[in-house]
Amino acid sequence: MEFHRGPSAQQEALSNPIILTEILKQSSIPLKTCRLVSHFWNKMVLTLPNTKLALNLKPRHQNFGTDPAPFFELCNTLDDRLAKRISARTPFFAEASYSFAAKMIYLCGKFSQRVESLGILLHFEDCLPHISQIFSNSCPNLKQLRIRCMFDGENYVPSPEILAAPFPRKPNLTVFRLHSAELAVSPALTTFTQLVVAAAPNLKKLVLPWGVYPDLENSKFLDSLTLKLDLARSLEVVLRDYKPSELARMLGQVGDHVVHLAFSCYGSYNKYSKHEDYDLVDNSTRSRIRLPGRMLKLRTFKNDMLDIIQHADLWRDIEGMPGLETLWIGKISRTATSVDAFLKNLSEKERVFRKVTDLRIQELYDPTLLARLKTAFPNLKTLGLDSLYEMEEGGMELGVVLKACVGWGGLKHLRVRLPTYPERMWDFIKALLDGSELYKGLKSLQIKAHGGYFTRRDLTDAEMYLFKGLLVVMKEIDHVNIRDLYFGGESLKNILDFMASNGISLSKFKVLQGGRTDNVNDFE
């Protein structure tokens, strides 16, 4: 007699659409791979809402040799649900850009009703009119538009009629991200931005490249506005394209309803930059901006370039944000003293901001100013300090910073990033121990360095004793992440044994990322 074994419990679970849907929702599941398991899995993946699956048209996929037939065959056999999100990148060669444009126009036209998200990387500005054609003639249900420009806008002048007509309304478009690494703002890109904004009355999130200031009078639902500077540009061009009056006009149009406002940077000027000595602060001919008097709905404000977008009175502006919860400030020039100057000004004016719970400061050089911040931000829960440049002795060194933060009642999360760690391991461990009083109330601690001494070596007996004491002191913190601690095999084994015997979790206490490359299996 033959017995026919039925499906196992695992097989039944993986054939149950409810169970499988929950499995596929896990962030660690590679949906692209899951689609290949079976027709059923593919069907389930394509029915999931809000996945990041996208139809990627990159140059190596777009050309299909010299024969365009495979591309059109793909379009004719493609499940239209895959066209919900389209991601594309123009070829690096100008002569191939027209082929790219033709395929993009065809693809967006064929799946016009399906396309909800469109992301494009442009290497040539003469592709911009083709993107305009797509925006004008297809994709009426578009929800997100993301464009990154990697071209020199000074060398291209489009025909006047290309960007003359208004775009049709896109009522579903709520997110428009435009990034630009071009050397200068081009008239074509400025016009394109204005046309998109005008066509999207329900826009909620807008990211603009440096030097573009569209009319936002009709953007009544905008709650997030970011002006982003790509630091590939020279500071001379950055200052030339900065128009405080235009920025103030734009902010005045949305100031009463915006929730998130950011002036941020993409990339950074490092200590080897040719612009590091460019004097930004003492340029007395530049205008200082005043933000709208009352920004009642604002919860997050970031200005990572106080040395460029200078405030007439930063703290008066912040007082006009009664609901502010998150404040980030910083600068981009090494020689500028804007951050210290603004914080010193805060100390002198004795203002208090009780609702701010998240404070991030880039390039603060005077640790004595931290004492005043405890009074100015008494209800702070998260503090981030990031310094790229090395200071004179006694500046923002690890031990100095940690001791300065002691006594900050209510502080739960501390993130510190410094130019370098102390050269000697003993000094490094001692600096961490200097903050032992601080650790009693913390839930998370993250410490990193932009550069330092990463030689892997065993600890001396005295250093090992000190380090074990540090582990015990930090044990009560929920999450500790100290990057770039390098130990030799003998020290690492000793530390791991000590952590295991004292119930210190490796998953919550990450201090050994750099040291576990030396035959770790020999002592695990």
3-state SS of 380-408? CCEEEEECCCCCCCCCCCHHHHHHHHCCC
How far CA 251 is from CA of 200, 246, 505, in Å, comes to: 18, 9, 48
- Residue 207 CA to residue 263 CA, distance in Å, equals 10
- Residue 212 CA to residue 281 CA, distance in Å, equals 23
Name the nearest CA neighbour of 88 among 50, 49, 59.
59
Q: Taking a C-beta distance cutoff of 8 angstroms, is the pair 130, 106 a contact?
A: no
How many Cα atoms are found within 13 Å in the side-chain-facing hemisphere of 130?
20
Encoded tokens for 448: 């990193």
Specify the higher pLDDT residue, 191 or 16: 191
Average per-residue pLDDT in the chain? 80
- Helices (H) and strands (E) in the chain — how many of each? 18, 16
Helix ranges, 200-351 (H): 235-241, 244-254, 314-319, 338-349
Name the nearest CA neighbour of 101 among 118, 122, 80.
122
Give the total residue count for the chain: 524
Encoded tokens for 207: 């990211």
Helix (H) / strand (E) containing 197 = helix 187-199
- Residue 269 CA to residue 378 CA, distance in Å, equals 32
Residue 436 lies in a domain: yes
| pLDDT for 463 | 92
Name the packing angle between helices 489-501 and 461-474 (round to 10°): 40
Residue 425 lies in a domain: yes
Q: Taking a C-beta distance cutoff of 8 angstroms, is the pair 241, 212 a contact?
A: no
Phi/psi zone of residue 329: left (φ > 0), alpha (ψ -120 to 50 degrees), beta? beta
Encoded tokens for 363: 């390039």
Name the packing angle between helices 398-405 and 425-433 (round to 10°): 10
Encoded tokens for 200: 């999207």
| pLDDT for 254 | 96
Phi/psi zone of residue 519: left (φ > 0), alpha (ψ -120 to 50 degrees), beta? left
Which of 30-34, 93-97, 219-223 has maximum average pLDDT?
219-223
| pLDDT for 346 | 84
| pLDDT for 475 | 87
Per-residue pLDDT tens digits for 261-275? 999 987 654 433 444
The structure tokens 């603004």 sit at 342
Residue 309 lies in a domain: no
Which residues on adjacent β-strands are paired with residue 384? 360, 415
**CA angle (6, 10, 14) in 5-degree steps:** 105
Encoded tokens for 30: 């590679």
Per-residue pLDDT tens digits for 368-397? 888 888 889 999 999 999 988 766 555 678
Specify the higher pLDDT residue, 164 or 121: 121
| pLDDT for 522 | 28
489 CB-near residues (< 8 Å, 6+ apart)? 458, 518, 519, 522, 523
- Residue 100 CA to residue 77 CA, distance in Å, equals 20
| pLDDT for 87 | 87
Residue 308 lies in a domain: no
| pLDDT for 154 | 54
Q: What is the mean pLDDT of residues 283-297?
A: 79
Strands 85-89 and 144-149, how do they pair? Answer: unpaired
Residue 341 lies in a domain: no
Q: Taking a C-beta distance cutoff of 8 angstroms, is the pair 255, 225 a contact?
A: no
**CA angle (220, 223, 224) in 5-degree steps:** 130
- The residue segments making up the domain with residue 45 are 14-51
DSSP SS3 for 471: helix
Per-residue pLDDT tens digits for 496-508? 999 999 988 888 8
**Structural domains of the chain, count:** 2
Specify the higher pLDDT residue, 109 or 523: 109
Specify the higher pLDDT residue, 51 or 451: 451
With cut-offs at 50, 70 and 90, classify the pLDDT of residue 457: confident
Residue 461 lies in a domain: yes
108 CB-near residues (< 8 Å, 6+ apart)? 86, 115, 118, 134, 138, 139
Neighbours of 175 (CB within 10 A): 17
- Residue 7 CA to residue 335 CA, distance in Å, equals 70
- Residue 14 CA to residue 520 CA, distance in Å, equals 37
Residue 471 lies in a domain: yes
Residue 142 lies in a domain: no
| pLDDT for 14 | 59
- Residue 421 CA to residue 425 CA, distance in Å, equals 9
| pLDDT for 421 | 82
Per-residue pLDDT tens digits for 318-334? 999 999 999 999 988 77
This prediction has a pTM of 0.83
The pairs formed by 18-22 with CB atoms below 8 angstroms and a separation of 24 or more are 20/44, 21/47, 21/48
